[in-house]
Structures are given as structure tokens and as C-alpha cells.
Amino acid sequence: MMPLKYADIDQPQIIKRIGGNPEMKQHLADMGFNVGGEVRIVNMIGGNLIVQIKDSRVALSDELATKIMV
């Protein structure tokens, strides 16, 4: 298990755990990040990530990307 920010670009990953405080977990859940879901890094820009989650592309800060374990 590793933080999403260290995953390979363009490789599907399964979310295994989401860390952080309850507000952060809820914020990520509202964007579609749930345990068991599939996520794929599309691009990295200055440490921030563009990810494909479900049918959407979402920008994640470095801080949020470290809370998502794949």
C-alpha cells in the first residue's frame, strides 16, 4: 500500500484506504474517492495530480494525494 501520489501515471489503481480528519474524508468522498473505487493518474503538475475517477477528471493537491492509499 502506498499514497496515490507515488503511483505510476496512467496505471489503474484501487483505493484501499482514505486517511485524514472526518471533514477531509467527506470532501474526498463527495468527489467520488471511496474505498474499493478505481482511480488513475492522468498527469502530475508541480506535485499536484490530475486524476481520472469514475467519469470525471479531478485535480488533487499534494496533501490530498497523500491521504489516498492505493
Listed by start position, the domains of the chain span 4-69
pLDDT category at 62 given cuts 50, 70, 90 is: very high
Scanning the structure block, which residue is given the C-alpha cell 491521504? 67
Confidence at residue 37, expressed as pLDDT on a 0 to 100 scale: 95
Q: What angle do CA 8, 12, 18 make, to 5 degrees?
A: 85
* pLDDT, tens digit, 9 for 90 and up, residues 9-52: 999 999 999 999 999 999 999 999 999 999 999 999 988 999 99
State how far the alpha carbon of 41 is from the alpha carbons of 1, 17, 25, 69, in Å.
16, 17, 19, 13
Which three three-digit cell numbers place residue 51? 486524476
What's the CATH class of domain 4-69?
A: mainly beta
Q: What is the pTM of this model?
A: 0.89
pLDDT category at 8 given cuts 50, 70, 90 is: very high
